[in-house]
């Protein structure tokens, strides 16, 4: 049940129904990253996305820090969904624990249960709007 609670606490999955959260919770794998460990690299193909359950990460564009991700936030979902290479590098800023979902598991869940995609659309729209520089709350 812990995985489902962690997913529910993430904005991307906050609108999902209990059954959908349980299904997704069965597909994630917990993983720990040491401080300074590179989790994803700019330019690489996405094979998974991540939900931080403990710790925080720095988001880098080249060598410049452009953001931060904290407990309860996700990253890497856009590259998983659109198939484009990663746009940033993410490094553990401290010892960090994540739930990891592969692109293949996530895609299979979306195909078999479109209600998951529909519940995620508002948050995905916010992510895109933020990338375009809009002030979205």
Ranges of each domain in the chain: 2-128
For the stretch 34-87, pLDDT in tens is 999 999 999 999 999 999 999 999 999 999 999 999 999 999 988 888 889 999
User: In which residue are the tokens 């990891």 written?
Assistant: 100
CATH topology of domain 2-128: Jelly Rolls (2.60.120)
**pTM for this model (two decimals):** 0.89
Beta pairing, strands 89-92 & 56-61: antiparallel
CA distances (Å), origin 126, targets 38, 79, 132, 134: 26, 15, 10, 9
**pLDDT top residue among 133 and 8:** 8
pLDDT number for residue 136: 61
- 28 backbone dihedrals φ, ψ, rounded to 5°: -85, 155
pLDDT-based confidence at 125, cuts 50/70/90? confident
């Amino acid at each position: 049940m812990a995985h489902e609670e962690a997913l529910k606490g993430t904005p991307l999955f906050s609108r999902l129904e209990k059954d959908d959260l349980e299904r997704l919770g069965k597909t994630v794998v917990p993983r720990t990253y040491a401080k300074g460990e590179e989790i994803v690299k700019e330019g690489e193909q996405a094979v998974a996305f991540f939900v931080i359950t403990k710790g925080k990460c720095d988001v880098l564009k080249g060598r410049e820090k452009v953001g931060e991700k904290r407990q309860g936030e996700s990253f890497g979902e856009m590259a998983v969904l659109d198939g484009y290479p990663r746009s940033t590098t993410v490094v553990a800023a401290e010892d960090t624990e994540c739930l990891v979902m592969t692109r293949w598991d996530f895609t299979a869940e979306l195909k078999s249960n479109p209600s998951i995609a529909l519940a995620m659309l508002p948050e995905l729209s916010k992510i895109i709007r933020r990338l375009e520089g809009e002030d979205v709350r």
